[in-house]
């Protein structure tokens, strides 16, 4: 089981343990739903058990690299250009539709990830977040905060809007020491 997910509430963890055996029944999206008087919440995790078992057994011991920091920093400007380019080319002429938007958010995530990987910045882990929404005059606020090493880690984001929809894409790059 993924280390991080073990720290999630124990009730939810029990659900996870019951449903999934060490040999993996159906890795995928597991969720628990809690309903209180006036609000509903859903928590979901992505679990990929197969990979974890293999890695645990075969993890090689790495030699010390004596590398103090990244040789090449992640270029936030280049990332912003990529986001601008991808959002504009994929969303410019489109109209908001439920099915299409669902697929498009995932597609955009994959495309942006591939483009950022092409930058070939070694030892950086990448997280990409894409939101696509319908424009109906509603208000929305998106904020994020990160606990990381400000000298090595960075992020880039871009907001796109046309007459019927808006799209927000963010890239976070975290250095792996």
Q: Which of positions 22-41 make contact with another protein (CB under 8 A)?
A: 34, 36, 38-41
* φ/ψ of residue 125, rounded to 5: -95, 140
Residue 92 binds another protein, judged by CB under 8 A: no
| Contact code string over 94-113 relative to another protein, x by CB under 8 A | --x-x--xx-xxx-xxx-xx
Strand pairing of 154-161 and 29-35?
unpaired
Among 26, 148, 151, 161, binds another protein (CB under 8 A): 148
- Residues 49-88 contacting another protein, CB under 8 A: 51-52, 55-56, 59
C-alpha distances out from residue 34 to 10, 43, 80, Å: 14, 9, 38
Short-list 104, 168, 157, 106, CA closest to 131:
168
Residue 89 binds another protein, judged by CB under 8 A: no
Q: How is residue 56 written in tokens?
A: 């645990």
Q: Which stretch binds another protein (CB under 8 A): 6-14, 18-26, 69-77, 79-87?
A: 6-14
């Amino acid at each position: 089981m993924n280390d991080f997910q073990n720290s999630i509430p124990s009730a939810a963890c029990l659900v996870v343990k019951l449903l999934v055996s060490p040999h993996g029944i159906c890795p995928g999206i597991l969720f628990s739903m809690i309903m209180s008087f006036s609000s509903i919440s859903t928590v979901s995790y992505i679990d990929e058990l197969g990979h974890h078992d293999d890695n645990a057994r075969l993890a090689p011991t790495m030699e010390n690299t004596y590398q103090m920091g990244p040789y090449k920093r992640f270029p936030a400007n280049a990332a912003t250009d990529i986001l601008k380019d991808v959002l504009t080319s994929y969303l410019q002429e489109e109209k908001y539709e439920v099915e299409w938007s669902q697929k498009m958010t995932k597609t955009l995530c994959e495309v942006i990830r591939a483009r950022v990987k092409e930058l070939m910045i070694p030892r950086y882990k990448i997280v990409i977040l894409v939101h696509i929404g319908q424009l109906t005059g509603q208000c929305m606020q998106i904020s994020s905060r990160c606990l990381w090493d400000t000298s090595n880690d960075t992020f880039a984001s871009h907001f796109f809007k046309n007459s019927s929809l808006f799209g927000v894409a963010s890239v976070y790059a975290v250095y792996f020491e």
